[in-house]
Every structure is written in C-alpha cells, then in structure tokens.
Structure 1
Amino acid sequence: MTVLHPSGSGASRRTFVAAAGASGLAALLAACGGSSSGSSGKGSSGGHGTTLGSTADIPEGGGKIFTDEKVVVTQPSKGEFKAFTSVCTHAGCQVAGVSGGTINCACHGSKFSIEDGSVKHAPATSPLEELKLDVTGGKIKLA
C-alpha cells in the first residue's frame, strides 16, 4: 500500500516506520489480552446475569475458567463458590489453570488464591477482581 502526501509523492520513511510500529504494538496488545487502558484486570468480564455453568462443573478445591466471559469460578470448600476476573493483573494475560489451591497464569508465573483472589506468587502485585455470583438450583450466574 502506498500512502501519498498532498504533493503526490510516496510516504516518507518516518511515516512508514511509525505506522508499522503502531500496527506491531496493536498486535502485541491483542496477543497478550491487554488494552490501551492498562492491565488492571478489570472491565472485560462477562455481564450481569450471564449463566456460566453448573455447580457440578466446578471441582471442590479447584475451579474452572470461562474463557469467553473472562471469568474463573472456584470452589474453595464444599458448596462455597467464588468468581474472579480471569485476566491477570500483572500483564493482562488470561489465566491458564486452577490447581494446588491457586489460579495460575502461564505468561509470567503469577498465582492467585482460589479463596479471595489475593496474590500468592509474583510478579503480580494486585489481586484478581472478585465478581458477584448467583448460585441457584445448581446453576452459576454472574450477579
């Protein structure tokens, strides 16, 4: 693609390099799940009333990640369900799994408590945002 200046000549090298850099940055942010507003881990979670699944889908002492909704639901103890954003507060990556009592991010090794979303292993320094749940009749919904 050729970008023309008002004079009709081709784009300058500086313009081309700047455009290529902006495209690369956009691709990097998309790949890491980040956004231009920062990586606080807030904002992209599923909406109010979104049905996530069944209580039977969530193992006791573990959890399940709902990738499309950007939510992780845990069951720290029998019958107790918690929900957190599944976007890591360190670099905006989506967490990859739940095991050993923690929600784990594969990007840089951060780990968060399944009980309260607090940081159990750096590099993250902020907890996962806790979300409200409605658990009724064996169904789990975001409240």
Structure 2
Amino acid sequence: MKRRMVLLSTAALAGCSKYGEQSAPQAAATSAPPASEPASAPATASATTSPPSQGEVLVKAADVPVGGGTVITDKKVVVTQPTAGEFKAFSAVCTHEGCLVNTVSDGTINCPCHGSKFRITDASVVAGPAPRPLPAEAITEKDGEILLT
C-alpha cells in the first residue's frame, strides 16, 4: 500500500506543466528560476512590475482595434473594443495558471500556456482549461486615452 501512495503522489506532482515542458520533481520547484524566462511565464515569475494605478493611461484609444484588443503586458491589462467606441478592460493574468495572455484575435483574448480563450466582450471563458473569466478592470476614455479608474 505504501508504494501505491508514493506512485499516486508522484503522479499528482507531475500535474500541469506548459505544453512541451517536462514535469520536474517537487524539489526542483523551489530552485532558482532559469536565467532567461520565456515571454509566457506565469505572472508570479515576473513580479517586478506593479499593477497600474488609478488615473494611469493604459493605451491610446486609437491603438485598440475595433473587434479586437491590445495587451499591455507591463501593466498586466488587456483593453478590448468589441464595437466602435465601446472599451472594456480585464486583467491579462489567466485564471488557470497565472500566465499572461498575449494576443487578441477572432473575438477572443488568448493565453499561450494552455490554450484558454476569453471573449473580448466580457472575458468569459470560450475555451478552457481556465476555470473562470478574467477579472474586469474599471476604465474610462478621456481625450482619446484609456485610463484606469
């Protein structure tokens, strides 16, 4: 029975890794990160940027395509424009494993780590494994700029 528990524990540790990555034993998870992190690393791996502050300009409205959106990576925010003049903003941190979303196309906000997709209109999940929508961010448009409110 003990051997079976060890095997089950080891299988649980293999858990969820990025597509194409080898799972590492639990002891390796506490070691220092590699010298160069991939662009799609979980948000917790690059906690050097601070969240945007109230009144901060996120992006120029003209830089957000109608029917699409723009990911502001350093602010960890994605701004979308589902219809002309209608702007929405959401956290760019995927609700699955904390990776940053990296593209907006074909009406969805896309996470590169495990393929989660979110609607540009309300950030609801279109394709998993994300368990819930991206959290909304309060914004306003002023003088052609999108500001965090």
1:73-106 deviation per Cα after TM superposition (whole angstroms, max 9, x unaligned): 0000010000000000001000010000000001
Alignment length, in residue pairs? 115
Instruction: Give the structure-1-normalised TM-score.
Output: 0.73
Matching residue within 37, 44, 54 for 1:34: 44
Question: With structure 2 as the length reference, what TM-score do the two structures score?
Answer: 0.71
Write out per-residue CA displacement over residues 36-92 of structure 1, whole angstroms, 9 at most, x where no aligned residue. xxxxxxxx6422111012110000000000011000000000100000000000010
Distance 1:63 1:99 in 2: 8
Q: Which runs of 5+ in 2 are unaligned?
A: 1-25
- Name 1:5's counterpart in structure 2: none
Of the candidates 108, 119, 124, which is equivalent to residue 113 of structure 1?
Answer: 119
Cα distance in structure 1, aligned partners of 2:27 and 2:105? 42
Letter of the 1:60 partner, please give it: V
Counterpart secondary structure, 1:68: helix
Residue 97 (structure 1) aligns with: 103
> CA distance change for structure 1 residues 20 and 61 in 2, over 3 Å: closer, same or farther?
closer
User: Secondary structure, in 3 states, of the residue corresponding to 1:56?
Assistant: helix
> Which of 124, 127, 132 is the matching residue for 2:133?
127
For the residue of structure 2 that corresponds to 1:83, the secondary structure is: strand
- The 5 Å alignment of 1:1-143 reads 22-24=30-32, 27=33, 31-34=41-44, 45-143=51-149
Contact 1:45 1:85 in 2 (8 A): no
Q: State whether residues 34 and 91 of structure 1, in contact with CA within 8 Å, keep that contact through their aligned partners in structure 2.
A: no
- What secondary structure is seen at the aligned counterpart in 1 of 2:31? helix
| Structure 1 pair 121–135 and aligned structure 2 pair: CA distance change class (3 A) | same
| Residue identity in the other structure for 1:47 | S
- Runs of 4+ that moved beyond 6 A: none
Structure number with greater Rg is 1
Match of 2:60, as an amino acid?
S
Amino acid corresponding to residue 23 of structure 1 in structure 2: S
Question: Relative to 1, partners in 2 of residues 1:22 and 1:118: Cα closer, same or farther, differing over 3 Å?
Answer: same
Structure 1 alignment gaps of length 5 or more = 1-17, 36-43
RMSD after superposition: 2.1
**Identity across matched positions, percent:** 51
